Every structure is written in C-alpha cells, then in structure tokens.
Structure 1
C-alpha cells in the first residue's frame, strides 16, 4: 500500500511540474516549433550598401540554424525609393510574415507603423534607432523592435580627411533631408569639423534628382567633401563623384561600398557585418529572446578602404601608414 501511495504521489508531483512549466515553454518556442517560419525583409532602395546588409541578414540567420527551404521562407520586398510602395509592401509583409526586417530607417519605420505589437521587427544597420523613434533607447528597446546599428566612426573619418588633405579648411557635407539617419550623421560630423577648427559647409538634397545641381555648387566651394551614411547620397554617388572630379575635389564617404562607387577613401564598418548581426539577433529572438529586453547591437570596428584610381586621378598622397593598414586589414581598390 505504501509503495502504491508513493507511486501515485510521484505522478502527481510530475504532472504538477509539467503544468507549471509547459506554458512558458510554448511561449518561448512557438515560432521555432512551426514547420516553416515566414521571414519578411523590406529594403528602402537598391544600392550596394543596403544590398550587402540584405545578404548579411541571410548569413546571420544561417549562423543561428535558420536556412531557406529548410525551416524559413524569406519574402523580400524593395520599394526602390518610393514611399507609397514602401507603405504597401510593409503592410503586405506585416500581414503575412512571422518576423520582419527593415533595411534603412524609412523601411523599419514603415514596418512599425504596419505590424502589430506582437510581431518582432529587426532593424538592420539603422544609424540612429532612438533618434528615429524606433526604440526607447539602445540599451532598453522596450517594445517589439531591436536589431543592429552601424553609426559611422565619425571621428576616425574626419581624421582620415585631415591626414590625407592637411591643407583642407572647408569641408562640404551633403545629406538627404528625408533620411533621418543621414541627417543625424551629417550634423554630428559637422560638429566634429567645427570643433577641429575647420569650417563645415552643409548642403541638402530632397532626392537623388537634386544631386547634379547641388553637388556642382558644393564642389566649387569646398576643399573636400564628406558623404555620410545616407541612402539618397549613396544612390547618387556616381553623380556626386563625377562633379567633384571635375572640380578636382576628393569625396570621403562613410561606407566602403561608396568608395567602390568612386569615393576617394574611407574608414568604414562592413555593411555585410551589420546585416549579419541583425540576422543573428533575429535567430535568438526566434528562439525566445524578447526584443523589448534585447539591447541594440553595434558594429564599431572599421577598416581603411582606399580607391587607388581616385587617388591617382586627383594626385593625392595617402600617408604610408594608412595605405599599409588598408593593404593589410582593409581594401585597396585598383
């Protein structure tokens, strides 16, 4: 009889423990228990930097065990710079997918405005998450949004300009008025320029159609040009470089892909790394981590990227130390 009572008691304890723990387990693994998780990615526009972030997202998800045709289905939408398209696409993705990625600030904002608060939204390479209103703070996002941020290493980018162009006094800074991240970076950079005893000269474009006229004007009135991490500027980089070349002025962009598109040199973080970090973070969210309590991730280490063709064309001398570092750890584009 005692054995029977002991056995029954053990069963009751086991059942009680299972009832207590089961809801939490279901809550944390609801998405990963699905046969296929639907992943929605919204990109603002096509240009190399954002394309690399997109590729990085897929790599980061794969790092966490989430692969296309195995356990995730990826739906990708590109608004190509059209705001009305972006709103429509954001709503479609929000209606269909389990987790969402916004590549560039406007894309992330469109997803936040379209999705319900239970859908995780991952920022991918957003320059100023808190300033853009996407999270309450980088350390404590406080909602359904988190992800990666790649604020440019502005101090090192300014130092690069001073090392390469020691006689430069007037630094042109161009940004897109509708790009919150680009505007934030441009204004922060201008403050650093002023603090260094140089003169920042600000130029604004409303969209890529303005670049031809504005960049011509700027190139004739400055000694060097800084192009921040800005989607409108990145999309019209070749126009900017063409006009700067005609005036004999170097363009120092924020990202490595903008150097590939004709920029002179940069100290830049890797855009693929930004996407990969967002993808890895998403994998952990899918495994149960809550976005509200998941601090925004940052990529801070950069490398020198030098465009040898532009250096030769503008007859610029890059200090040996910088060139050696670019050759060893960064990139020299020939």
Structure 2
C-alpha cells in the first residue's frame, strides 16, 4: 500500500489522480478509495488514524487496492476525484474533511458507501444515503477559557478567519460568538476568505481592526495557510494565534484546547472496517469526538511574552 502525494497545482492534481485511477488496479482487488481534501497536520493525522482503524478492526489492507488522492484544498478537484472513484466502482470511499465528503456522497448517489472523517457540522451529510463517519466538534467554551488564561484578560478582541468554501465554518463562527457572550467585553472579529490568495490581507485587516490574538476554528483551507501566511505576520507583530489542534501548536501556535485527530481518523477507520466486513453504513452510528486536551508551546509563549498560567493544566509540546 502506498500513500501517493498529489501535485501542488490543482490541474496537475486532477491529471495525476485520473492517471492513478487508470493504472493502479491490482488484478481485480476491491478498491478502498481515500480522498483527503488537503495536506496539513490534523488531516494527515486523520489519514494515519483511518489506516490504523482499518487494521485494528481486522482489515488486511494488502488484500485491497488502496488508492489515496489529495485535493490540494480545491473542492472542484475533490469532485473530479470522487467521480473517478465512482466510475471505477470503488468498494468504499473514505473522505477526509467536509468538501471531499460532500463530493464523494454526491458522486456516489447512495450506490457506494461513503465514510467521512472530520466533519464538524454533520447536518451537511443528512440528505445523503449510504454514509456514516466521524465528526469533530470543537469545545469553544474550553478554548476561550484557555485563551483568556494565557492572554491574562477577558475583554479581548479575537480575530478569526474562515473560508467560504467550508460549509461548516459559519456554524462554528456562530458557536464561537455564542461562547464569547459569557465574557463581558469580548468581541469576535471574523473575516470571510473567498480567495485564499488574499489571506495575508485579511490577517492584516483584522489586526488593523484591533485583534489582540487569533483563534483557528476547524477550517481546513485556513489552517492549510497557517505556517506559510498567517504565523509570519502575527509573529512579527507579537500577536498570539491559538490553534484548533495539537499539531498547530507544535508548528507555532501559542496553545490549544485540542481534539485528537488520530482518534477522529480511527473512528472513521473503524466504521469503514465494519462496512468492508458486511455491515450497512446506515447501521453504523456517526462517531463524535469532542473532548479536548490542552497543549501549549513554551518557546512560542516566551517569544510572544505570554506567561504560562498556573491555573491551566496543559502539556508543553514546544520543548
């Protein structure tokens, strides 16, 4: 089994993916198709968890033709990849993140089981048949508790970026704002990103509007630009970014009340294993992972002048 990394450019991604579909069949073996919306640490952990979940639940992957593709955060690429898997009569499609899951379920039309992974708003899949999977639901109350503890104040202006391509992001923004109502004077400054190439501008606009720190929601398109576009700007201006999972803290966010994405992936892998073993997707409940764990990066906190709060129990991943 080989995990093939798709090309960086969307057009090349489609070409490489279609070539893979045409050339990688293994003598009649059943195909397990995996579509990952893009590459960043939490989605990569989902993939690793899926593979672990399949193996831990009795699936010998050497007996399957496992085909992996990456959409490079382009929904249209996910759609092309999903349709190619359907045309190739895949036994099952496992889709990581909402845009890939919607593309897979739309293309499959209920004829091929779809297992989704890391969908925050499960309602987006409610109109599709023959689907199940795992959901990641952020606990914004605990996230704000962590943010206020590290920032040393509660009347914060917090910047949040979200992509218009991510259907679950508006719900997350609404839930974040609701959680912020518990803090007098706290304001959530949200900014929609319709063109990812403008994300630098959006970050600077939020800072100009008074953002004292940033929070990442579970928005894969935005998180995919964390290291290359967001952190270079915020670090220069000494503005902390609080991540949505542990890997973001490892690469430069100050802290996070983090969902474990290996567990989210494992839950999806378990569901896929049950389907491959003969169970119907409709008989498998959606698994929801909600319980966060606190992490911080001591090196980043020192550079940003943040004091590690004694009231917070958290693991340092920045040593």
Tell me the TM-score normalised to structure 2 length.
0.85
**Which of 81, 95, 116 does residue 87 from structure 2 map onto?**
95
Q: What corresponds to 1:172 in structure 2?
A: 159
Q: Give the SS at the match of 2:122.
A: coil
1:77-102 Cα distance to aligned partner (Å, 9 max, x none)? 11112333222111111222101111
1:76 aligns with 2:68: yes
- The whole-number CA distance in structure 2 between the counterparts of 1:215 and 1:287 is 47
Is the Cα contact below 8 Å between 2:33 and 2:67 reproduced in 1?
A: yes
1:130-149 Cα distance to aligned partner (Å, 9 max, x none)? 1x2x125xxxxx82011000
How many angstroms does 1:57 deviate by? 0.6
Is the Cα contact below 8 Å between 2:215 and 2:241 reproduced in 1?
A: yes
**Which of 252, 261, 267 does residue 277 from structure 1 map onto?**
267
- The whole-number CA distance in structure 1 between the counterparts of 2:259 and 2:75 is 28
Q: Give the SS at the match of 1:91.
A: helix
Q: Give the SS at the match of 1:333.
A: coil
How many angstroms does 1:210 deviate by? 1.5
Q: Give the SS at the match of 1:45.
A: coil
- The whole-number CA distance in structure 1 between the counterparts of 2:207 and 2:242 is 13
Q: What corresponds to 1:333 in structure 2?
A: 318
Is the Cα contact below 8 Å between 2:300 and 2:318 reproduced in 1?
A: no
**Which of 100, 121, 138 does residue 152 from structure 1 map onto?**
138
- The whole-number CA distance in structure 2 between the counterparts of 1:200 and 1:117 is 40
Matches within 5 A, 1:113-132: 113-130=106-123, 132=124
Q: What corresponds to 1:61 in structure 2?
A: 54
How many angstroms does 1:114 deviate by? 0.8
1:104 aligns with 2:97: yes
How many angstroms does 1:326 deviate by? 2.5
Matches within 5 A, 1:1-16: none
Cα RMSD of the aligned pairs, angstroms, is 1.9
- The whole-number CA distance in structure 1 between the counterparts of 2:310 and 2:182 is 27
Matched residues, number:
288
- The whole-number CA distance in structure 2 between the counterparts of 1:287 and 1:312 is 51
Is the Cα contact below 8 Å between 1:102 and 1:121 reproduced in 2?
A: yes
My pick for the range that moved more, 152-161 or 294-303, is: 294-303
Matches within 5 A, 1:1-334: 36-69=29-62, 71-96=63-88, 97-130=90-123, 132=124, 134-135=125-126, 143-167=129-153, 168-197=155-184, 198-220=186-208, 221-238=210-227, 239-322=229-312, 325-327=313-315, 331-334=316-319
Q: Give the SS at the match of 2:274.
A: helix
How many angstroms does 1:281 deviate by? 1.2
1:213-271 Cα distance to aligned partner (Å, 9 max, x none)? 11112123112211111111111102212211222211112121222231110010111
Is the Cα contact below 8 Å between 1:173 and 1:190 reproduced in 2?
A: no
Q: Which runs of 5+ in 1 are unaligned?
A: 1-34, 137-141
Q: Which runs of 5+ in 2 are unaligned?
A: 1-27
Tell me the TM-score normalised to structure 1 length.
0.81
How many angstroms does 1:195 deviate by? 3.7
How many angstroms does 1:119 deviate by? 1.2
Q: Could you list the structure 1 runs, at least 4 aligned residues long, displaced by more than 6 angstroms after superposition.
A: none
